[in-house]
Every structure is written in structure tokens, then in C-alpha cells.
Structure 1
Amino acid sequence: MFLFSRRLFGSLLVLIALLAHASSFAADLPTFNLVIRNGHFVPETTEVPANTKFRLLIKNEGPGAEEFESAELHKEKVLAPGASSFLIFQPLKPGTYKFFGEFHPDTAQGRIIAR
């Protein structure tokens, strides 16, 4: 029983160390904010550094659900009203990448420009 407790304790220490390392790595990512408001993305254009992994924080301030979707970036995320979430992007080559809102496709249009 004592041996099992030592193994369990050792495993917990390793897990804690791994989680601490992962959270410090995530904190180092460049982060950009995107708000969904009344069927529009604010800002419509987000500039990010090319060839750099980054995080996009998304908040839905609208009265209904909305989705961030991009076929080019292979990303989609549905957010309920008042919800916040994030997406992690692998480094992008220089260029423009379009995205849209599935529930307001005519007005919820945006783009990420990697420079």
C-alpha cells in the first residue's frame, strides 16, 4: 500500500509539472481579440505576424449564437450569446485568410492578414 501511494504521489507531481509547463507555453502565444456584435466581426480585419503560432480570443456579444468559420484555415467554433472561447492557429504563411459567421453570412465577414 505504501508503494502504491508513492507511485501515485510521483505521478501527480509529474502531471502537475506538465500542466504548469503547458500553461506557461500558452501564455507566451501572441493573442488577438475578436468580438461578434450584432452579426458583425469587430474588427473585420485582424493582422497577425506571419510564421508565428497565435491564439484568437473570440467573444460573442450578440443576442444570438454565432459561428466563426473558415474553410481556408480549417477552423470553426460556435459561440452561444455571451460566450467566449479561443482558437489556436499554427503559423500562417504571409497572406489573407477569410472567415465568416455561419448564422449571418451576409454581414459577418472578416479576414486575418498574416504579414
Structure 2
Amino acid sequence: MRGMRLTGWVAFVLVASIPAALADSAVTITLKDHHFTPDSIAVPAGQRFRIELTNLDSTVSEFESYDMHFEKIVVGNGGKIHVFAGPLHPGQTYKFFDDYNPDSQGTITATTKKD
């Protein structure tokens, strides 16, 4: 029983520290008039990052990416969500879109670090 408590505590500490570690790696996207801004984003390859999306449209959106394996509903009129993605492969481009408005699309490209 004692080992189970320690394991649970360790798991809590590890999970609780993940968002803090990724806070500096946030990508901010806005959805307005069914258009993502920015619609083309570069992130460092090999690192996890957080995407923060604000929906300024009056309608609900489903922020989705088959390539990055996420989908999340975001309400309109200023609704905000965040998803975690990565690590991504260097040089690869990944698509995201609004499943309710297929013309609303964007890409994230994983770049290699330049020396």
C-alpha cells in the first residue's frame, strides 16, 4: 500500500510539472471570420508545445488535426482552448483545420535549430 501512495505522488508531481515546463513554448492562434491567424506557423522540431486558440467567431468551432492527433471544441464569442502537440519531425508540415468549416485551415512546420 505504501508503494502505491509513493507511485501516485510521483505521478502527480510529474503530471503537474508538464504544463509549467511547456508554458514558454506556446503558439497563439486566433479564429476570426472562419480564418486562422496566423495560418502558417513554425515550431522547433523535437519539442512538445502548447497551442492556444481563441475563437472570435460567433459560432462553435472544432479545432482538429489528423496529423498531430487532436480535436477539441471551442465555443464562439471569445472562447479559448489549448491543446498539446509534438514533438514533430524536422522539416515536416502538419495541417490543422476547423472541422465545421473545412475552408478554415492552417499549417505548422517543424524547423531544425540553426547554429
TM value normalised by structure 2: 0.77
Pairs within 5 Å for 1:91-110: 91-94=87-90, 95-106=92-103, 108-110=104-106
Can you list the C-alpha shifts for 1:13-34, whole angstroms capped at 9, x where unaligned? x86x875664443122111111
Secondary structure of residue in 1 paired with 2:89: coil
State whether residues 67 and 76 of structure 1, in contact with CA within 8 Å, keep that contact through their aligned partners in structure 2: yes
Deviation at 1:41, TM superposition (A): 0.6
Map of 1:27 onto structure 2: 20
State whether residues 68 and 86 of structure 2, in contact with CA within 8 Å, keep that contact through their aligned partners in structure 1: no
Deviation at 1:101, TM superposition (A): 0.9
Question: Given residue 79 of structure 1, which amino acid in structure 2 is its aligned partner?
Answer: V
Runs of 4+ residues deviating >2 angstroms: 17-25
Q: Which has the higher strand share?
A: 2
Question: Given residue 26 of structure 1, which amino acid in structure 2 is its aligned partner?
Answer: P
Question: In structure 2, what is the Cα distance between the partners aligned to 1:72 and 1:22?
Answer: 24
Structure 2 unmatched runs, 5+: none
Map of 1:6 onto structure 2: none
Question: In structure 1, what is the Cα distance between the partners aligned to 2:71 and 2:11?
Answer: 28
The number of residues matched between the two structures is 102
Report the RMSD for the aligned CA atoms in angstroms: 2.0
Can you list the C-alpha shifts for 1:32-82, whole angstroms capped at 9, x where unaligned? 111111101110011111000111111111111111111122211111112
Percentage of identical aligned residues:
34
Larger Rg: 1
Structure 1 unmatched runs, 5+: 1-10
Question: In structure 2, what is the Cα distance between the partners aligned to 1:74 and 1:21?
Answer: 22
